[in-house]
Amino acid sequence: MAMKGGVDERELGSFTKKEFGVSLPAKGFYYRLEGPTDVCREQFEDVWVDGDRLLVAAGAEIFYSFVRTADPKVPFPELAGLTASHLPYDTDIFANHCAAQVGLAGELQRELDKCSPVFNSYIAKKESTNYIAQLVGNHDYRRGGASFADHYSTPFSHNQHPVFHVLPPLKGIVVVRVNDLGAKTKEDREVMGGVYLSIKSGKIVDQLNERCNLTEKYTCVDEDNNPQFQLLETGKFKRL
């Protein structure tokens, strides 16, 4: 449609390279997706593939750009065998589309792979030999300022089983998102707000009690994509 409007191939290629880091295919080849619904096909039909980058043309004016920031199949020594979830990490997508699938109220979670590979969910158990699971289960979230943590912290001492996601490490720093999915009802207890933990050299360094989304640059942004916190190489979260 752009070329029909007078933009030539060279200009279009220069635009996509400058704005998105995506080159036009040398042989003029692209993919056409067939989604499960008409809406999906309409919005995400035409896709350019350039190495680890995808460029989706949604209509005549909107482009969506995606980049693979880490291969979750590549092991990170800091994760002790766990598989990283994807960045950016969107708390609302997990809460609205995945939490009910990976958690059974009041019981041990059963279907942890329902939202993988975007969310590779794990459950912290007392018998776990993974050091991250032990840190998650024995951490004092109330002392770290988490909301409604009185009857949750520490989880293992209250017979709770946190669901958590590990994210690709930043120079040896592991960020873990911890979610409380164990409350049966509000009468049982209030649900603790989700938190981010930063772990360095096997110890928890900081706790961020925000429902913000962590980007591939390790910046936590609000629902309007405004930066709120930045993870530093010290493991601390700095308010912006």
Q: Does residue 138 register a pLDDT over 90?
A: yes
Among the listed residues 77, 181, 76, the one whose alpha carbon sits nearest the alpha carbon of residue 122: 181
Q: Cα(132)–Cα(197) distance, rounded to whole angstroms? A: 10
pLDDT tens-digit profile of 21-75?
A: 887 777 656 677 666 666 565 666 777 888 778 888 776 677 888 877 665 555 7
Q: Cα(224)–Cα(212) distance, rounded to whole angstroms? A: 10
More confident residue, 7 or 209: 209
**9: its two tokens:** 């191939």
- In terms of DSSP bridges, do strands 227-231 and 219-221 run parallel, antiparallel, or are they unpaired? antiparallel
List C-alpha distances in Å: 68 to 50, 98, 234: 11, 21, 25
Consecutive H or E run containing 238: strand 237-239
Alpha helix stretches (DSSP H) within the chain: 9-20, 38-43, 91-93, 99-102, 131-138
pTM: 0.71
Q: What is the pLDDT of residue 42?
A: 61
Q: In terms of residues, how long is the chain?
A: 240
